[in-house]
A and B are shown apart, each in its own frame.
Chain A
Amino acid sequence: MQFKLLLPFVLSVTFVGCAVTKTPEGRSIGMLSITSEPKHERYLNIDSSASKADKIQMYRDQLVGNYPKQDFTFIRTFPYRAYQSYDSLTPRPYMIHTIDGHRVKVAEFIMFGSKNVLLTELAQQDLKVPVGMHDLVIVNGFKSTSHYTEIKNVNFEKGKKYVIGVDYSKQTGTRLYIAEYEIDQRFQENEPEYIVIKKKIVEGIEQGNLKHVRIY
């Protein structure tokens, strides 16, 4: 009898999967079944047959409607070498997950679709962000683990461009920064040398200071 009750649970976990969330305080909220967000909250409202250029443009401009009558600047992800190929070892790039609670959406990946824009491609595009002080949550990850990093009071100034990157050392681990940059035209846009870091406006932010989520 007990087996009959247990079986549906085991099957649902097996087929649906579950997530374990770990907070920076070490609190683990374990084995929750995945509550997937509705598609319209995760993905841009664009036809899957739209061109790659249109999808990229929509990604870049998506926050404009949320901040009417405001000036905008741009932010992108440092073009790390790991983002220049796409296979099972390609990490999920550092991308803005929310800005002041507004979700930054991405283009939906369509199986066998020829006009897909990968996350690594989107991350290296200039996303328009409003000038002024803002609270960000940045997401990144590798395989089934995602790290959510909160950065409060980031001051974006007009006329400057920003890049999200990381510093790594054995002592401190992975620390995020947001920096002003200039470009070096001698290199291609997808090469790390293309970005010349000028001034870090935020640095030393511990990766995953909000939470780590692992999907089983």
Chain B
Amino acid sequence: MSEFTKSVFKLGLLFSILVSSGCVRMMLPTSETQLIQQSVDGGHKIELEMNYVDAYANLKRAYDKCVAYRSRVPNDTSYIVIDGQLERDKHQATIEAKANYGTYVSKVNLKELQDGKTLLTLYLSKSKLLTENKNAELSQKRFVQEQLRALGNDPKCN
């Protein structure tokens, strides 16, 4: 193998490592703060007519069933893990979806309001490959789905 081929091979290897780790981290949020700052429309909010623990239990079940993901393709290590946190003392709960390289996909906040109501806030990371309009359209669709899941009415996931 010539010196030139070796150099090209090394550069290619370096490039693929950078693409798979650094670039992913550049494109997607790597902290909760970044996710909230970069989320579509600064997050979607709605009041739900239900207890925040019920909403959390419903959402967690749906996330475990329909959002959590681990690739079964050999050598493909992509995944989405769910991190749920129920803080009864603070009357709130959060569910985060995290992907490879410490990146954040989405975050849902559930906060107890008066009269047994719950404020649901969804933060969704913006796709930089899509237009603003397409991002808004997709996030709205996901927000509707999120409400259904929180109420336990998504037949596929609840």
Chain B residues with CB under 8 Å of A196's CB are 88
Would you call B54 and A193 a contact (CB within 8 A)? Answer: no
Would you call A186 and B54 a contact (CB within 8 A)? Answer: yes
Would you call A187 and B88 a contact (CB within 8 A)? Answer: no
Chain A residues with CB under 8 Å of B119's CB are none
Chain B stretch 39-94: residues in CB contact (< 8 A) with chain A: 53-54, 56-57, 60, 84, 86, 88
For the complex, is A184 an interface residue (Cβ under 8 Å from B)? Answer: yes
What range describes how many residues of A lie at the interface? Answer: under 10
A193–B88 Cα gap in the complex (Å)? 9
Chain B residues with CB under 8 Å of A186's CB are 53-54, 57
A191–B88 Cα gap in the complex (Å)? 15
A191–B60 Cα gap in the complex (Å)? 11
Chain B residues with CB under 8 Å of A184's CB are 53
A187–B86 Cα gap in the complex (Å)? 11
A196–B84 Cα gap in the complex (Å)? 15
> How many whole Å from A14's CB to the nearest CB in chain B?
35
- Mark contacts of A106-144 with chain B using CB atoms, 8 A cut-off: 1 yes-contact digit, 0 otherwise: 000000000000000000000000000000000000000
Closest to A197 in B: B88
Chain A residues with CB under 8 Å of B86's CB are 192-193
A187–B54 Cα gap in the complex (Å)? 10
Chain A residues with CB under 8 Å of B84's CB are 193
A26–B27 Cα gap in the complex (Å)? 49
Chain A residues with CB under 8 Å of B56's CB are 193
> How many whole Å from A72's CB to the nearest CB in chain B?
29
Chain B residues with CB under 8 Å of A191's CB are 60
- Mark contacts of A176-216 with chain B using CB atoms, 8 A cut-off: 1 yes-contact digit, 0 otherwise: 00000000101100011100100000000000000000000
> How many whole Å from B54's CB to the nearest CB in chain A?
7
Q: Which of B54, B56, B57 has the most CB of A within 10 A?
A: B57
Chain A residues with CB under 8 Å of B54's CB are 186
A184–B56 Cα gap in the complex (Å)? 12
Chain A residues with CB under 8 Å of B60's CB are 187, 191, 193
Give residues in B with beta carbon < 8 Å to A.
53-54, 56-57, 60, 84, 86, 88
Q: Give 14 pairs: A residue, B residue, CB < 8 Å, sorted on A.
A: A184-B53, A186-B53, A186-B54, A186-B57, A187-B57, A187-B60, A191-B60, A192-B86, A193-B56, A193-B57, A193-B60, A193-B84, A193-B86, A196-B88
Give residues in A with beta carbon < 8 Å to B.
184, 186-187, 191-193, 196
Known: A184-B53, A191-B60, A193-B86. 8 other contacts (CB 8 A): A186-B53, A186-B54, A187-B57, A187-B60, A193-B57, A193-B60, A193-B84, A196-B88
3 cross-chain pairs, A with B, having the tightest CB-CB distances, nearest first:
A186-B57, A193-B86, A187-B57
